[in-house]
Chains A and B, each alone.
Chain A
Amino acid sequence: MGTTITIFSTRGGSGKTITSVSLASTLSKMGYKVIIIDGDLEAPSLIHLIKPQKPVADLNYWTDYLGAKNLKVEDIINPTKLSNLSIIYSSPPEIGKSFLSKNSQRWWQNALRKSLTTQKKLYEIGYDFIIIDNQSGTSLNSVNNMILADVSLLVVRPASYGVGAAEVFIQEMHSLLKGMKPRKDFFVWNQVPVTDNPEEKTLLNHFLSKWDVKIEELGIEVATVIPFDHMLNLQLLNEITNEIFSLTISMNSSMLEIVDRILKYQNQQKRNGN
């Protein structure tokens, strides 16, 4: 039985996709068989970071699959340059958005049922980790993706308004997910300013430690602090982004810290018989 990790945030631009890809490539380089699902129907960006190896016109998307009876899970799995990392892409944003606004509650209920069945199939195929790059916010789509999670990673950039929203979000989401199945929730500070200025350092440390206490009180473990990466941010300004595998190198120490915590949790669950 594998592990599903859902990466989420309260707002866009927090770095979910980069974190998803970095985590996925780190795990796959460690020898695990990994698949990433682009579950962000509103702003799917995985396709820009890891290019499909076949023409876009030939792709079957996650969105096609959720609503179609004639597609098998194998039809939507795409290989990458890493032999044990696969991807399920999401459709272009205009289609994804219409999915979100047009589909009825009943449709999303069926999508949840299908996602749960698919999760099982992906484990049967042999994937050790399913990583879901989730949509931000609390749409039925993002809640469905959270239900699949054995481990969640809430990615937040340090800004008082961002963390305030995250606090409310966590409480709301947890009341729904409470008692559903064993799950470990982690928190990731992303793109944290790096400074040598003593006053700025004090401001930053005061902010982080205040929120670390609040977040841990909500039952979430702070997994890592990813420092602001100048080169990564500059590379993202390119129209054609380099293969993400080159971008992940600078984030490796943070990713290894996250992976270490996830594996420890996984072992603990195995010992508990879950």
Chain B
Amino acid sequence: MNMVQYLEDVVAILNLESSGPNFYHNLNSELFDIQAKMLYASRAIILCGLANQRSPEKELQGPVPVTELSSSPYSFYYFQLRPHLKGLQNIHLVIGLIFKTMNKKKFKPIEDELEAILISSFESLDFSLISPESADPKLKEQLNQIFENIFVEINSLLESSNSEKSIFNLGFLVNLSGDESKLAKKLMLFPDGLLLNTLSIDEQNTLNLLEQKGLIEKHESDEGIVIIPQ
């Protein structure tokens, strides 16, 4: 998987205030033509009704299908935050995270981590910038930054759930067999590469097993074949 595909996995992150959707962090413009925006708005308003004082706070909810877009099905997780400040008791923010329904399986294993990311990301949000009537433009700035960070983190999570096999993954490394683990530990110390001819014959035999598992790559150089740990 490459970054471009991940970009398609997370389509958008939105902030929906209790008065309706008012801020989108647009990661993929296809959703944001006027018609799609309206469809999302209606779905979002329904969800805002669901997420209120009685709904759990700081818990990831969903994924909920967005049935209005039948030609290109999307789902989204939502996450509610309530500012615990005097005068703001009735305000709540709902953060929606939209993705293509076909990618549901990719998100399932990372839900706990996703929730942790959202909780820690919004800890820094300055709720004093919100009043019952309006929100300071600085809030949008803050949200923009937070959403950008969340997006990067989610991509990293999706990437990690697809790339457990790595010499630099210590949990994976210790579960390799004796000789493989020993050689992998040695190669790890040379992240920029190690010349093949510095390895013993036994090590070169073991190296083939690591190569079959995708844990090393071989590159030609002026000095000879270089082994790059993956």
Q: Do A and B belong to a common assembly?
A: yes
Chain A residues close to B by CB (< 8 Å): 98, 101-107, 109-110, 112-114, 116-117, 120, 140, 143, 147, 175-176, 179-181
Q: Please list the 10 inter-chain residue pairs (A to B) with the smallest Cβ-Cβ separation, ordered nearest first.
A: A106-B160, A109-B168, A104-B160, A180-B185, A113-B191, A116-B191, A104-B156, A104-B157, A112-B168, A98-B120
Q: How distant is B146 from chain A, measured CB to nearest CB, in Å?
A: 12
Count of B residues near A, CB < 8 Å?
Answer: 29
Query: Residues of B contacting A109 with CB < 8 Å?
Result: 160, 166, 168-169
Confirm or deny: B209 has a beta carbon within 8 angstroms of a beta carbon on chain A. no
Decide: B160 and A180 in contact? CB cutoff 8 A: no
Cβ contact of A147, chosen from B116, B166, B188, cutoff 8 A:
B188
Query: Residues of B contacting A107 with CB < 8 Å?
Result: 156, 160
Decide: B117 and A106 in contact? CB cutoff 8 A: no
Cβ contact of B163, chosen from A106, A113, A180, cutoff 8 A:
A106
Decide: B174 and A102 in contact? CB cutoff 8 A: no
- Dominant SS at the A interface? helix
Chain B residues close to A by CB (< 8 Å): 113, 116-117, 120-121, 123, 153, 156-157, 159-160, 163-164, 166, 168-171, 173-174, 181-182, 185-186, 188-192
Decide: B159 and A106 in contact? CB cutoff 8 A: yes
**Contact (A181, B186) CB under 8 Å given A106-B156, A116-B191:** yes
Q: 6 additional contacts, CB 8 Å, given A104-B113, A179-B185?
A: A101-B120, A102-B120, A104-B157, A106-B156, A112-B188, A181-B185
A109 to B186, CA, bound (A): 16
Query: Residues of B contacting A147 with CB < 8 Å?
Result: 188-189
Q: How distant is A36 from chain B, measured CB to nearest CB, in Å?
A: 22
